[in-house]
Amino acid sequence: MKTSDKNVLKIRIYGAEYSVSSYEDITHIKKVAEYVDEKMRMVDASVRVDSSLKVAILACVNIASELFKLREEYQRISDQLEEKIKKINSLIENRI
């Protein structure tokens, strides 16, 4: 399948079925849907709220928090790697 081909499939999240159209791989879409479903069910189990919209919003807040933490970790690792590259380049330059 070419990346320009659009995938259309039905996914189930928190008891509701959605039709999704995306250029992403079907397996990726399914994994994302399963993850969102899992997060919503975790929120529902831990904080009893009266609507699926509130569950979805709280799940989104949790997912966004995870994303921000991963971005911070990525930046920290990227900065460390950049420093190591500078040190290696400096060592190489001093040997020449």
Confidence of residue 70 (pLDDT cuts 50, 70, 90): very high
Q: What is the pTM of this model?
A: 0.79
User: Under 8 Å CB-to-CB from 48, ≥6 apart: which residues?
Assistant: none
List the chain domain ranges.
Answer: 7-95
pLDDT digits (tens, 9 = 90+) for 71-87: 999 999 999 999 999 99
pLDDT digits (tens, 9 = 90+) for 30-50: 999 999 999 999 999 999 888
Burial degree of 45 (CB within 10 A; 0-12, 13-18, 19+)? exposed
Confidence of residue 5 (pLDDT cuts 50, 70, 90): confident
